[in-house]
Structure 1
Amino acid sequence: MTYLETAAQFYSEVAQTPEIGLCCVQSTPLQLPGLKIPRTMEEMNYGCGTTVHPNELANQPTVLYVGVGGGLEALQFAYFSRRPGAVIAIEPVKAMGEAARRNLETATQLNPWFDTSFVEIRTGDAFNLPIEDSSVDIVAQNCLFNIFEPADLTLALKEAYRVLKPGGRLQMSDPIATRTIPAHLQQNEQLRALCLSGALTYQEYTQLIINAGFGQIEIRARRPYRLLDTQTYNLNENLLLESLDSVAFKVDIPEDGACIFTGKTAIYAGKESFFDDSAGHILQRGIPAGVCDKTAAKLATVKPGEILVTDSTWHYNGGGCC
């Protein structure tokens, strides 16, 4: 049995008998006015973070959600796009798709504004999305891509890139590892299905996103997720997993490399009222400006002592000068 077959069997079982918090550290679902989430959806909240960022959801975007799970985030996306077919959910596991449909039916009873036509559930997988090229505004997935082996993850990322409109966004939440996970854990199919052994390091994860063609990545949250301890997992030292929420944009990769925003800022402290680096970055004296990591590194060497570059906060919500 392959790791994908193991994962499919595992999620088929938990679709029929939900296990609260069985693999992921559950977070409180996003609270929105007039949105009531069915209890079964909360019990099937197997994600490690969130892909639903309200500031990304103006103008009722068309959302492709890969791996519908219990339907929680599909419902949340529908909250912002209240029209038939606004959310297309792709689900390879039959039992999970059926459970999501039941949960969405329940959601209509709790939410007068919601209609099940807002969410269309299609059978398919992340490697061959049943969607036309350049046809959706957002592709989202929560705690699915991390179970893929690198070659399969590359395929999934390229498929997401293919179906996005120019300027579209790939919104993801996945575990990442603070160091490379040992081979004996990577090869454990059950642990991989549990979102515990397939995680890549931050550098590996973001590089694969860039390799798929995405020219800009914004980190929305990075926080501790799970600890793989020495006794349970046969390790020489404890290994911390983190949860990473990111948004990657389908824009061209600049000649000098992709832009990754991690919450760094640059602050000009020179004698003039502003600093212009002639590359599109204007810093007002004394006012922090969000910059990508690449620009931060360059500015730190331009005027030593006159430009302060702050550390990553691992949270970025726009508003920078890049």
Structure 2
Amino acid sequence: MGYLETAADFYSEVAQTPEVGLCCVQSSPLQLPGLHIPEAMQEMNYGCGSTVHPSELINEPTVLYVGVGGGLEALQFAYFSRRTSGVIAIDPVAEMRSAAARNLKLAAESNLWFDPSFVEIRSGNAFELPVPDESVDVVAQNCLFNIFEPADLDRALAEAYRVLKPGGRLQMSDPISTRQMPLHLQADERLRAICLSGAMTYDEYTQRMIANGFGQIEIRARRPYRLLDAPSYRLDQHLLLESLDSVAFKVPIPEDGACIFTGKTAIYSGTEVVFDDRAGHILPRGLPMAVCDKTAAKLFALIPNECMITPSTWHYQGDGCC
């Protein structure tokens, strides 16, 4: 049995018998005014972080949610797209689709603003998304793509790119590994299905997005997720997994490479009122300017004695320059 079949069987089980705290980092989901999460939906919070970033959700976007789970984030997205089929949620597991539909009906009882028609649940998978080219504003997935082997991850990322409108956003939350995952763990289908052994390193993960056409990546959060202890997992030393929340934009890749924002700033300390690098970056003296990692490196190389680069905060919400 392949790892995808193992994952499907596992999520069929936890759809019918919820496994509380299976992989979530947050003890409670994002809270919003007037939003009430049914207990049954909370029990099926199988994400490793959050893909719902309110700053990304203006103008009632059409959201394609891949891997509906218990419907929690589909409900949160519907909070911003309050219209029929504003959220399209797909899942290949029939039991999970049924559980999400039940949970969304419960949500309608405690959320006067919500109608179950706001979330359209469809059968489908990440490799063949059941929507036309360039038809959605946001594609989101939480703790799903990390279970894919590299070739399958590329297929999923390419499909997300296909269905996004130009300028659209791929919002993801996945575990990453602080070093290369050992082969014996990668080969364990059960550990991969429960989001422990398919994690790539940060560099591998972000470069896969870029290789599939995404020209800008912004890191929303990076935090500890799980520790694989050496004795239990037959390792030479403990292995820390982290949860990474990211937003990748369907914009062209610049000639000098994609922009990745990790919360760095550049601060000019020279004698001029402002510094202009003649490449689109103007730094007022003494004031921090958010920059992507690529620009940070270029500025430091250009004026190393007059430019402070602050460390990555692993949290970025926009503004600045690339």
Flag whether TM exceeds 0.5 (same fold): yes
Runs of 4+ in 1 over 4 A off after TM superposition: none
Question: Is the 1:27–1:49 contact (alpha carbons within 8 Å) kept by the matching residues of 2?
Answer: no
Residue identity matched to 2:246:
S
Q: Secondary structure at the match of 2:314?
A: coil
Aligned to 2:310: 310
- Matches of residues 42-57 of structure 1 in structure 2 within 5 Å? 42-57=42-57
**Structure 1: which 5+ residue stretches go unaligned?**
none
Aligned to 1:82: 82
Aligned to 1:27: 27
Question: Is the 1:219–1:261 contact (alpha carbons within 8 Å) kept by the matching residues of 2?
Answer: yes
Deviations 1:233-252 (A, max 9, x none): 01010000000000000000
Residue identity matched to 2:122:
R
Find the aligned partners of 2:245 and 2:27 in 1 and give their Cα distance: 13
Find the aligned partners of 1:24 and 1:172 in 2 and give their Cα distance: 14
Q: Tell me, yes or no, if structure 1 residue 292 matches structure 2 residue 292.
A: yes
Question: Is the 1:299–1:307 contact (alpha carbons within 8 Å) kept by the matching residues of 2?
Answer: yes
Deviates more, 1:22-31 or 1:285-294: 22-31
Aligned to 2:174: 174
Aligned to 2:249: 249
Question: Is the 1:24–1:195 contact (alpha carbons within 8 Å) kept by the matching residues of 2?
Answer: no
**Structure 2: which 5+ residue stretches go unaligned?**
none
Aligned to 1:41: 41
CA RMSD of superposed structures (Å): 0.7
Residue identity matched to 1:23:
C
Question: Is the 1:222–1:315 contact (alpha carbons within 8 Å) kept by the matching residues of 2?
Answer: yes
Aligned to 2:9: 9
Find the aligned partners of 1:54 and 1:32 in 2 and give their Cα distance: 10
Question: Is the 1:26–1:46 contact (alpha carbons within 8 Å) kept by the matching residues of 2?
Answer: no
Aligned to 1:104: 104
Deviations 1:43-101 (A, max 9, x none): 00010000000000111000000000000000000001100010000110000000000
Find the aligned partners of 1:230 and 1:293 in 2 and give their Cα distance: 33
Find the aligned partners of 1:127 and 1:321 in 2 and give their Cα distance: 34
CA deviation after TM superposition for structure 1 residue 23, in Å: 3.3
Residue identity matched to 2:163:
V
Q: Secondary structure at the match of 1:208?
A: helix
Question: Alignment identity in percent?
Answer: 75
Q: Secondary structure at the match of 1:319?
A: coil
Residue identity matched to 1:80:
F
Find the aligned partners of 1:304 and 1:24 in 2 and give their Cα distance: 42
Find the aligned partners of 1:22 and 1:295 in 2 and give their Cα distance: 39
Question: Is the 1:27–1:48 contact (alpha carbons within 8 Å) kept by the matching residues of 2?
Answer: no
Aligned to 2:235: 235
Aligned length: 322
Aligned to 1:147: 147
Residue identity matched to 1:51:
T
Find the aligned partners of 2:321 and 2:251 in 1 and give their Cα distance: 17
Find the aligned partners of 1:21 and 1:6 in 2 and give their Cα distance: 20
CA deviation after TM superposition for structure 1 residue 26, in Å: 4.0
Residue identity matched to 1:313:
T
Q: Secondary structure at the match of 1:244?
A: strand
